[in-house]
Chains A and B, each alone.
Chain A
């Protein structure tokens, strides 16, 4: 039987201004599964993501690969969960692309040779090796987006968490990204409005709205439910809109 890799039970979180962002969220993610988290703006997707490697700590229980979310396990959990932020400028903070991708592996205390090999491999996977010595501000948005994924895959995480991976990308950039994400064999959790991407990449979907988990189920069951999607500010993706 497939093993549970993320277990979340009764998670609540409110921001300091009192806004309730997560309200009684419970779900599991299984090993090697691709889970899509969909919902309108302000549904709590990004807040939920920040909980997955302990950047935010709400009330409730979170277990990652059997480890309870607590201070003593934080570094071990952050090694296992690779978080790709929505805005690449927030994630690329080092002077050159190479240094940025090397930031995680160096923190994992890998040797110089291992760091070079890992960074080269991660950049090769996203076809960005030729820009390794350049500064992030010289790159296009699409290039930066690919590199943010490389910064995380270089740490070889067991779970890859992507926040709006296809936002602001041109059609080719989006297509390349979808192809690349599909080829990654680790467990993936993807939050997005891009329901076509979810249909292409994910096995299962969780629908969030207003901080609550509305429903979870198979991709087809949820993406074909026009009424459910429209009630929660979404639409049936074009690729499925002609199905009976």
Chain B
């Protein structure tokens, strides 16, 4: 069965792909922290961050169109939350409209909140897309799994990553089997069949989980999860992180 993978460019041979995943993860968190603490009025700083990010995307050899297309996913969510703020936030009025009895005013403070939310969330999304596209998902999980408190989350994510495709295969096969026999029948009947399929899929997933647990026990699983970590941190990785933090600091304080 065909699957699209979200780490499809992780095999690119580039400077960014070769970096240690932990360094990439730390750099991404640093980038987001800088974003959060940059005031919305520092437009030049945001431009600087965007240029830095775009250069890293170019260095990673990930097609820019792929990154931009993927980043569009976040825009509707942010707009949904922030689009009405300019109309409701009190402050200096920069535009006013009236439609019959309805009067709409746009405040400067509101526009700044909208810009702030849009710019920060979009740049954060670009950064996350670069991180997840240039790193193998399994390595990314290991890089997050540095602290015991995160191990449960990474274990759940690792199982999800493994079985999402298996469940997707099962769903596709069930769908094909349904369509192969779907000759006529009312829309209501088809909807009912879909509901039954969802139920069967859940039961199948549950039964599979039981088998997976048995397979784990048969290979000595005692309740605690241990993974093999063979990643090395080179001086090149440290150098990248230092340069990255220095450039970010430079942008933050020079481009006010």
Footprint of B on A, CB under 8 Å? 50, 53, 55, 75, 78-79, 81-83, 85, 87, 89-96, 98-99, 102-104, 106-108, 112, 115-116, 133, 135-137, 151-152, 155
Contacts and interface: CB of A to CB of B under 8 A. Distances in A.
A85 B162 contact: no
Interface of B: 3, 136-138, 141, 158-159, 161-163, 165-166, 208, 211-212, 214-222, 226-228, 230
Contacts of B208: 89-90
Contacts of A135: 137-138, 161-162
Contact of A115 (B138, B212, B218, B228): B228
Given A81-B218, A82-B218, A116-B228, 7 more contacts: A78-B220, A83-B215, A93-B162, A94-B227, A96-B136, A112-B228, A135-B162
B219 A95 contact: no
Q: Output the residue of A94, A98, A155 with the most chain B CB within 10 A.
A: A94
Given A93-B159, A95-B137, A75 B220 contact: yes
Nearest to B170: A89
A104 B230 contact: no
Nearest to B215: A91
Given A106-B227, A137-B162, A93 B216 contact: yes
A95 B161 contact: yes
28 contacts: A53-B218, A78-B218, A78-B219, A78-B220, A79-B220, A83-B215, A83-B218, A89-B166, A90-B208, A92-B162, A93-B162, A94-B162, A95-B141, A95-B158, A96-B138, A102-B228, A103-B216, A103-B221, A104-B219, A107-B219, A107-B220, A107-B222, A108-B220, A112-B230, A135-B137, A135-B161, A152-B219, A155-B220
A145 to B, nearest CB: 14
A163 B211 CA distance: 13
Nearest to A89: B166
A151 B215 CA distance: 10
B162 A90 contact: no
Contacts of B216: 93, 103
A220 B180 CA distance: 45
Given A95-B158, A112-B228, A137 B165 contact: yes
A106 B162 contact: no
A136 B3 CA distance: 13
Contacts of A78: 217-220
Given A50-B214, A89-B166, A94-B162, A99 B219 contact: no
A87 B208 CA distance: 10
Nearest to B210: A90
Nearest to A151: B219
A69 B138 CA distance: 36
Nearest to B227: A99
